[in-house]
Structure formats: C-alpha cells, structure tokens
Amino acid sequence: MKHSPLRTLVAAAAAVLMTGAAWADVNIGVTLSLTGPASGLGIPVGNQFKLWPQTIAGEKVNLIILDDASDPSKGASNARRFVTDDKVDLIMGGSITTVSVAVAPIATEARTTQIAISPVGVPPEQEKWLFRLPQGFAVMAHPIIEHMKKNGVKTVGFLGYTDAYGELWLKEFTAQGEKAGIKVVATERFARSDTSVTPQALKLVSANPDAMLVVASGSGAAMPHKAVIERGFKGKVYQTHAAATPDLVRIGGKDVEGSYVVSGPAVVAEQLPDSHPSKAVAVDFVTKYEAAYGKGSRNQFAGHAYDARIVVEKILPVALKKAKPGTPEFRAALRDAVETMGRTIFSHGVMNWTPTDHNGYTTETGVMLKVVNGQFVVEK
C-alpha cells in the first residue's frame, strides 16, 4: 500500500514532535535507602516523592528512583547509571550521609547538580555541584549548645556512628562546645548495623558526664539511647536532627521520655508561632503527607523531599529560558539557578543558597524538642 507524499510528511513531522516531547522531559535521578539499616530514613522520603506532580513549570518531570540499600557503593553505582544511562538533569540523594558522599564525585565529574537529602561534607572541589536540603552540622549543633548552656551542662559523653555523619557531628559539636565551656569527656562509636552498644554505654556512664549526645538516625537512634538509660545514666540525653522521627519514640518508649532532640520546624508545624516564616509551608507539608499516609506519619526526612519540589518549581522556569532538558547547558543552568534562587521558604526553615554557601540555613533554623508523654514538644 502506497502512502501519499503529504501523508508521509505529516507522519514524519508527528514523529519529530513526539521525539521532541520526549527530549523535553526533565529527568531527575533519586537514590534512596529504601532497604537496609537506614530504610527508616529513605522510605518516608520515597513516600513524599510519590506525592509529586507529573508536571512542573509546564514540563513533564520523570523521577527515576533507585534503592541504594543503605550502601555507599550501591549509591555510587546508582549515580553512575543516572549520568551515563539515564542522562539525568539533576540528582537527588542520598538519604544518608555516606551515600551522599559517594555520589558527590560522580555528580561533579558529570557536571550535574546533586541535591543531597542528608547533611554531608565533601572536598572543596566537589562543592560547586552539591547543595544540601537538610540543615548542616554547624547550624543544628548551635541550638543544642545553647540549650546545654542554659541548663548548666559542662561535660558531655558522645555516642555516635563510626561513619561520616557521626564524625562530622563530633567535630562540629566539639568545636562549638569548647567555645561555650562544654567539654566532651568520653567518646564512643558504633556501626549502623550494630544491634548492641552495651560496652560503649558502660564506658560512657562510668565517665559520669552531665549529658549524653547520641548521634544516630531514624529507628537506629533508639537502641543507643536505651542502652545508656538502661545502664543507669540519670543526666540529660540529646539527639540530633536525624533522630527526629516517630521511630525514636515508638522504639525508645519510656527510655526516651524527657530527652531532647534538635529538629527543623517541619515536624512540629502546628506548634510554631504564627510569626515563624515556615509555619504555613510546614503545615501544608504535614497536612498533605498525613492525608496520604495517616495521622502521625509526618517525618523529618519526608519534609526534605517536599522542599525539593519547591526548589524544582523555582529553578525550572529559570533554566528553561537558557537551554533544553537533556543537555549539558541545561544542567549548568539548573546549577546556576539553584545557587542564585535567593531567599526561599521551606518547611524546614528559610533557605538562601549563595555561591559561597551551599548549606544555606542560618543558626535560627534549629528547633529544640522535648519528648513529653511520647510526643515531640517545642522547648520554650
């Protein structure tokens, strides 16, 4: 059967248009710890990504979500696939520090913006393409130090992960603590996969510090906390923002009652004063998340995925004026748009990334919470 020249031309034009539409899609690679010891962090982030719209700024957005199994090497493999096979315009992840560290050099090499969903420190040469959604260690150590000062804490025992998250927290907390007259008198570490820290807890309790700082994340933060309480510690116990999840209270039970947790504002949206800049955005986040996943399901980490959408909504229109998705020029335009997007209200605080600051938050960001009757309550 012969086709007329006009019909053939129309079919060819339609094919070109269809191909062009595919080229116009914005592809975002997301690596998350959906399984493994850090799955308590990655799953809520994945849940929030499921609530993203299919189009942003008039463009179809494809989220390519891969599980890194809480394994840095798997995270690196995912990142390599994103930049070589999927040709993504943007990378998000990992949801834990060690995976974010593993992704960073690959994103830098590919000149593709990485928006980390965990706090992370990298060499200076990797900073250009890396931006962080969670609050940095310095920003979140600040309210803990201030709270300790007000409560007469002079000595602290440190019990934290052996990986980058634990070490970076120890470094920052020690530096700020020394300036405030607070000394780390005992330091113990454990791996994310450990199921007991009894020896470490005994050593820390015997040092008799005024307070303990537990540096762990998600459900993994409850076990070391319980260990020091069960070994007879009577002082104050503090947790970092990676522990501001329902899992801490659910698993920790009575042993975490009365403890202190630093957090971004998202998980306590309704408790924020009306004057707080993030209140309306944080309330929107928790309302929509709990409508989808149930009352009380709100999660610190899911809030970062909510904020990631705000970023994309703001930078896409800017980058699209300069280049088409799927090109090196578009990837560079996205990076520039993130760096210059200016003051932006997140559920987790006010962000203002600049060319010299890819952390963005100020020291006013952190909110101190206390566990009271199994609930997180903002400290007055």
CATH number of the CATH domain containing 31: 3.40.50.2300
Split into its structural domains, the chain has a count of: 2
For residue 269, count other CB atoms closer than 10 A to its CB. Answer: 21
Are 259 and 225 a contacting pair, CB within 8 Å? Answer: yes
**Same domain as 172, residue 69:** no
Last residue of a domain, one of 207, 238, 263: 263
Average pLDDT in the chain? 92
Distance CA 267, CA 277 (A): 15
Q: Which residue, chain included where needed, has tokens 């005992």? A: 186
- pLDDT score at 16: 40
Residue 208 is assigned to a structural domain of this protein? yes
Tokens at residue 47, please? Answer: 């849940």
Residue 177 is assigned to a structural domain of this protein? yes
Distance CA 226, CA 231 (A): 9
Ranges of residues in the chain with a pLDDT under 50 are 1-23
**Same domain as 236, residue 146:** yes
Distance CA 260, CA 223 (A): 16
**Same domain as 159, residue 127:** no
Q: What is the pLDDT of residues 264-290, one digit of tens each?
A: 899 899 998 888 889 999 999 999 999
**Same domain as 128, residue 14:** yes
Those residues whose C-beta lies under 8 Å from the C-beta of residue 25, and which sit 6 or more positions away, are: 59, 60, 61, 62, 325, 326
Residue 274 is assigned to a structural domain of this protein? no
**Same domain as 18, residue 67:** yes
**Same domain as 112, residue 175:** no
**Same domain as 161, residue 86:** no
- pLDDT score at 40: 87
Residue 377 is assigned to a structural domain of this protein? no
**Same domain as 131, residue 9:** yes
- pLDDT score at 374: 92
**Same domain as 124, residue 26:** yes
Distance CA 315, CA 45 (A): 21
**HSE-CB for 54 with a 13 A CA cutoff:** 0
Residue 169 is assigned to a structural domain of this protein? yes
**Same domain as 118, residue 219:** no
Residue 380 is assigned to a structural domain of this protein? no
Distance CA 68, CA 316 (A): 27
Q: Which residue, chain included where needed, has tokens 């308590």? A: 40
**Same domain as 117, residue 91:** yes
Distances (CA, A) of 101 to 126, 177, 240: 10, 26, 19
**Same domain as 118, residue 131:** yes
Residue 81 is assigned to a structural domain of this protein? yes
- pLDDT score at 80: 98
Residue 357 is assigned to a structural domain of this protein? no
Which residues span the domain enclosing 259?
137-263
